[in-house]
């Protein structure tokens, strides 16, 4: 079943996606704590600011966890199909 594709170069790409995703989730954790502190009355935020941070928190968590999933999928698919790591980490327009 194994097509003989080396998965050695898949691990750095996976680590990049996982690290970036978990870092973003950590930042969104801080945004969530800010929201909870506002709800508890520890800090004051206007309603507009609260909902802006709430939107940032929700979108950031979705993107961060999606990046973690992309890293895992990259690693698993790399075991069967030859993938190019340069494409996975290429910046748009580069």
Closest by CA to 19, choosing from 84, 71, 76, 88, is: 71
What are the pLDDT digits (tens) for 60-81? 999 999 999 999 998 888 888 8
Distance CA 42, CA 5 (A): 55
22 lies in some domain: yes
For the chain, the average pLDDT equals: 87
Boundaries of domain holding 50: 11-82
Q: Which residues contact 44 (CB under 8 A, 6 or more apart)?
A: 38
1 lies in some domain: no
4 lies in some domain: no
pLDDT of residue 63: 96
Q: Of all helices (H) and strands (E), which one includes residue 13?
A: helix 10-40
88 lies in some domain: no
What are the pLDDT digits (tens) for 4-27? 455 466 788 888 899 999 999 999
54 lies in some domain: yes
Q: Of all helices (H) and strands (E), which one includes residue 88?
A: helix 85-88
């Amino acid at each position: 079943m194994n097509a003989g594709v080396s998965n050695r170069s898949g691990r750095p790409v996976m680590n990049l996606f996982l690290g970036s995703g978990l870092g973003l989730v950590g930042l969104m954790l801080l945004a969530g704590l800010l929201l909870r502190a506002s709800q508890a009355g520890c800090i004051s935020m206007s309603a507009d600011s609260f909902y802006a941070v709430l939107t940032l928190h929700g979108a950031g968590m979705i993107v961060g966890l999606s990046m973690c999933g992309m890293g895992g999928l990259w690693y698993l698919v790399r075991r069967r199909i030859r993938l190019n790591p340069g494409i996975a980490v290429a910046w748009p327009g580069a």
